[in-house]
Each structure stands twice: as structure tokens, then as C-alpha cells.
Amino acid sequence: MKPLRKAVLPVAGLGTRVLPATKSIPKEMLPVVDRPAVQYVVDEAFEAGIEHIIFVTGRAKSAIEDYFDRAFELETILQGKGKDDALKTLAAILPEPGTMSFVRQQAPLGLGHAIWCARDIIGDEPFAVLLPDVLIQGQPGCLAQMTRIYEQHGGNIIAVDEVPKAEVDKYGVIDPGAKTGRLSEMRGMVEKPAIDAAPSNLKITGRYILQPEIIDLLENQETGAGGEVQLTDAMVRLMQEQPFHAYEYDGTDFDCGNRLGYLRAIAHYAINHKDLGAKARTVLENALSH
Ligand code: G1P
């Protein structure tokens, strides 16, 4: 079994559900408390042992690439002013050189197409996919939980969790088979089903461990829901050929791609913040009582 070393973060989306905030900055750079949303997802990947992150970007997303690079001018000014704490903050988020790649998706043709755009950098290895719209609080993080399962079972694993029935049409939804603990066999899955046709209320949460054979399937995948090339449709085909499990992770997810999900994320990450937590709680309570 090849080790899991690479993760793909598709960040080409336009962020239309959070306009106008995303008119001139990528949605992944919107701050959640004191750092951009994408930082949490990168931290989750590195915590899980990922060694190389592949961003699938698009036009107007260069702020993400700049964020993960040195900022010489800023650092020089901070050094001159003796701002050591600020310099430490910057040093802590700087990835090791050569551990991030950036490839562009030239047109918004869907999540499946975005992953396919990363094929040359993925190569012939298993890889993780983390959708940066989705922040997940978990101890350890969701991908670290999944890598433990992967080490035991191999194959393909997707994170799932329950969603109210009325919301199943916004997600990929699985048809679970036999269940052992948090792990289910897979009978099927469907992208954005009609509410009455959904096979369960277990949604695909946005964390995947996939074998490289998915790339060949994506290559000739027909368009599906929303007229886009869907990763879910290619996974349905992969499921016929390889072991595939759904894992009900331990944690809470926040969909930062919509305004209320983003607000929930800010509130939760604020009250759990190691320095600001207690004060943030008071701020939120005061806001409610005035
Ligand atoms: C994508 C996936 C879907 C998954 C969702 C999680 O959909 O295609 O299967 O449930 O992310 O957020 P999107 O949100 O891009 O429409």
C-alpha cells in the first residue's frame, strides 16, 4: 500500500454565495477569527501527515499563493521595528520550501474536473482531497482520523455526516451498507439528489482519500448535476472496482461557502481560540443581550 503523501485543495470556485465579500479576494482568504479559512484546512492536512499540497486555483486567486510565500518587504519592516511576535506569527505559517504546488483550472467545469487538473502532480499515488469551503473542528482533525482508518483498510475513504433531510439536495449523499463502528460499506452515492430520492441523510462532507485510478475515470466522466463534471459520479464508478468506505468522523463541520455557515464558523472558532476564547464568549454574549 502506497503511503498517503499528497492532498489536493480545489480553490478555483468563485464564491458567489458570499458576494460582495469575495468580489476582490478569494473566499478561501476570508478570515475566521485571526487567520484565513484556508489556513485551517492546510493545518488539518499537515496534521494528518500530508507532505505536499496541490492547490487547484483560478484567475484572481493569487492571494492564496502569496499568503504561503515569504513576505520579504513586510518582514524587513517588522525586523526594523523589532516586532518579534509578528515575525514569529509569520514564521509559524510558512510551509517548508517545495511542499506546495499550484495548478490552474481554466474554466469552472466542476469539482471532478478540478481534481483532474492536478493529475500530473498527483501522479500514481493515493491522495487526499480537502474542500476548503468546509472547516471541520475535530480532535484530531478529520483527515488525521481518516488516515488511521486508511492505514487499516486501504482503498478509498470519504468522510460523511448527518444532515437534516430537507438539506440533502445541497450535497453528495451516500447509500450506506453494513456498518462497523463509524465505518460503513458503500452501496452507492448520488450528487445533489432530490429530497425524496436521497438514499440516506448522510452527506459527503468534503474530505476524501482516493486512489489514483479515479483520475482515469475523471478523464472521460460525463457531466452530471449542475452540468458539471462531478467527483461523486466518478467515485460511483471507482466503487465498482475498489474497496470504498464512508467514515462518520468525530467533529463538527462548518460550510464557509455560505454566509450563515461562515458566521457559525467564526463564532465556534472564536470561543475555542486558545488566547481569545473566554473574551470572545463574553463579546458574543454581550452582543446577544444588547
Ligand atoms: C461538493 C461535493 C458534494 C459535497 C459538498 C460538501 O459540492 O460535490 O458531494 O457534499 O461539496 O460541501 P459543492 O458544495 O461544491 O456543490
Question: CB under 6 Å to ligand 1: residues?
Answer: 111, 131, 133-134, 171-172, 191, 203-206, 230-232, 255
Q: Cα(224) to centroid of ligand 1, in Å?
A: 13
Distances (CA, A) of 118 to 96, 106, 166, 212: 20, 12, 34, 11
Q: Whose CA is nearest to atom 15 of ligand 1?
A: 111
pTM for the model stands at 0.95
d(CA 232, CA 96): 32
For every one of its 290 residues, what pLDDT tens digit does the chain have, with 9 covering 90 and above?
889 999 999 999 888 888 998 999 999 999 999 999 999 999 999 999 999 999 999 988 999 999 999 999 999 999 999 999 999 999 999 999 999 999 999 999 999 999 999 999 999 999 999 999 999 999 999 999 999 999 999 999 999 999 999 999 999 999 999 999 999 999 999 999 999 999 999 999 999 999 999 999 999 999 999 999 999 999 999 999 999 999 999 999 999 989 999 999 999 999 999 999 999 999 999 999 97
Mapping DSSP onto H, E and C, the string for 246-270 reads EEECCCEEEECCCHHHHHHHHHHHH
Contact 137, 269 (CB under 8 A): yes
Residue 46 one-letter amino acid: F
Query: What region does 215 belong to: left with phi over 0, alpha with psi -120 to 50, or beta?
Result: alpha
Nearest one of 173, 144, 145, 141 to 160, comparing CA atoms: 173
Q: Cα(111) to centroid of ligand 1, in Å?
A: 8
99: Cβ–Cβ under 8 A, 6 or more apart, which residues?
A: 51, 52, 53
Mutate to test the pocket of ligand 1, among 18, 162, 169, 171 (most ligand atoms within 8 A of CB): 171
d(CA 231, CA 221): 9
d(CA 6, CA 50): 6
Instruction: Give the pLDDT score at 62.
Output: 93
DSSP tally for the chain: helices H, then strands E: 11, 13
Nearest one of 154, 192, 161, 164 to 176, comparing CA atoms: 161
Q: Whose CA is nearest to atom 7 of ligand 1?
A: 171
Mutate to test the pocket of ligand 1, among 11, 18, 109, 111 (most ligand atoms within 8 A of CB): 111
Q: Whose CA is nearest to atom 11 of ligand 1?
A: 206
Ligand 1 atom index nearest CA of 171: 10
Which residues are paired to 160 by β-bridges? 204, 248
Q: Whose CA is nearest to atom 8 of ligand 1?
A: 172
User: For residue 163, how many other CB atoms are within 10 A of its CB?
Assistant: 19
Instruction: Give the pLDDT score at 269.
Output: 97
Ligand 1 atom index nearest CA of 170: 16
Going through 15-105 in order, the beta strands assigned E by DSSP cover: 31-32, 35-36, 52-57, 100-104
Ligand 1 atom index nearest CA of 204: 10
Q: Where are the domains of the chain?
A: 6-288
d(CA 102, CA 246): 29
Q: What is the CATH number of domain 6-288?
A: 3.90.550.10
Ligand 1 atom index nearest CA of 189: 9
C-alpha cell at 187: 452501496
Residue 77 one-letter amino acid: I
